[in-house]
Amino acid sequence: MLAQPTSELLHYVLFIHSAPYTQGSYSALRFAEAALQQGHHIEQIFFYHDAVQHANNLAIPPTDEHNIAQDWEKLAAQYQFNLMICIAAALRRGVLDKALATQYEKAHFNLAKNYQIVGLGQFIEATLKADRVLVFGNQL
């Protein structure tokens, strides 16, 4: 059965695949803002694939442009939900917290505040609880 339109408030998990500043990245943020404004609950934002770059706080966009990583941080702080990035995807792309930098003998770490590096199990657990899981990928 196709999901019917409903006025009931739902628990969402957003599974973001696309790099910062792509359509998928913006669509996810706008969806989250709209859903939260309507009273829906966001359980978790899970950044996977190239989306883990949202958590790279060494990224310095021009000051007259939007900083999408900070937009997520503000929204997450306001509505109290988790920003999680996958550890395997993060290691592959060089997004590390202090513990990982020490473990892998790297001189630096760059995980933005309010983001957590977690395992894929955290995402699967959240999907078990969620009413809806939405994928934001690279398709336009």
Instruction: Pick between residue 61 and residue 119 the one whose CB is nearest to other proteins.
Output: 119
Q: What are phi and psi of 50, to 5 degrees?
A: -70, -10
CB 106 within 8 A of CB 74: no
Q: Does residue 41 interact with other proteins by CB under 8 A?
A: no
Query: Measured between alpha carbons, how far is 38 from 47 in angstroms, rounded to an integer?
Result: 23
Q: Give the CA radius of gyration of the chain.
A: 15
Q: Is 27 in the site for other proteins (CB under 8 A)?
A: no
Site residues for other proteins, 44-63, by CB under 8 A, read 48-49
**Which of 2, 60, 107, 140 is the binder for other proteins (CB under 8 A)?**
2
Looking at 47, 72, 115, 123, which residue binds other proteins (CB under 8 A)? 123
Residue 10 in contact with other proteins, rule: CB under 8 A: no
In angstroms, rounded to a whole number, what is the distance separating the alpha carbons of residues 108 and 97? Answer: 9
Q: Exactly one of 9, 34, 99, 124 binds other proteins (CB under 8 A); which one?
A: 124
For other proteins, which residue of 30, 66, 74, 92 counts as binding (CB under 8 A)?
92
Rounded Cα gap, residues 87 and 16, in angstroms = 15
Q: Which residues is 45 bridged to in the sheet?
A: 14, 83
- Residue 84 in contact with residue 119, Cβ under 8 Å? no
Q: Does 1 bind other proteins (CB under 8 A)?
A: yes
How many whole angstroms separate alpha carbon 25 and alpha carbon 77?
Answer: 18
Rule CB under 8 A: is residue 129 a binding residue for other proteins?
A: yes
Q: Which residues bind other proteins (CB under 8 A)?
A: 1-2, 15, 17, 48-49, 86, 88-89, 92, 119-121, 123-125, 127-129, 133, 135, 137
